[in-house]
Amino acid sequence: MATARRNELLDLAYGYVTEHGLADLSLRPLAAAIGSSPRVLLFLFGSKDGLVRALLDRAREDELTLLAGAHGEGLAAVGETLWGWLSDERHRPLLRLWVEAYARSLLDRDGPWAGFAAATVAGWLDVLRRAQPEADRDTEDGLARRTAVLAVLRGATFDLLATGDLKRTTAAVRLQLSAA
């Protein structure tokens, strides 16, 4: 029963943080918004850090689901698929949460954020690696090419979130992917 309630509250909390972010997360307003109490959250997640770790794990699951669906022949095709998802306005709240968690992971290497950014990079590079011809996958050039595609996608995502300029960022992504 506690597991079912934990999962239910995690889903609700995840919805809350995708809308409000994690930066100023306070248990009292979160609990009130999701129909719980701070005590129940602490009981189910062990601590506020435990809750944050569970939320980051949930964000990572969503990211892995996206990556699992990225298929195509070559880096350009997979890059287009990924950009289609990244540039979809419905995903902006999740992407803002991802950017916040990514940045915090770089600054707080020992807290609940630890390892989030590195795991994200590794996951994306792995998907892009699978899109490459087998002969290129384990070469320095292959690694450089998929790193470049990842850098373009990530940079364009940051620009899109900052400006909302879908036309400009999509043109830039397509220009760079044509060279992949």
Q: Which domain holds residue 166?
A: 52-177
Tell whether 167 is covered by a domain.
yes
pLDDT in the model for residue 1: 58
Phi, psi of 47 (to 5 degrees): -170, 170
Amino acid present at 75: L
13 belongs to a structural domain: no
Phi, psi of 83 (to 5 degrees): -65, -35
Query: What pLDDT is attached to residue 12?
Result: 94
98 touches 18 (CB < 8 A): no
Query: Is 144 part of a structural domain of the chain?
Result: yes
Asked whether residue 16 is domain-assigned, the answer is no
Is 128 part of a structural domain of the chain? yes
Largest Cα span, the chain: 55
39-44: average pLDDT: 94
Mean pLDDT over residues 152-158, rounded? 96
Residue 153 forms part of a structural domain: yes
Mean pLDDT, range 154-177, rounded to an integer:
97
In a domain, 2, yes or no: no
Q: How far apart are CA 54 and CA 149, in angstroms?
A: 29
Q: Is residue 5 assigned to a domain?
A: no
How many domains does the structure of the chain reveal? 1
pLDDT at 175: 96
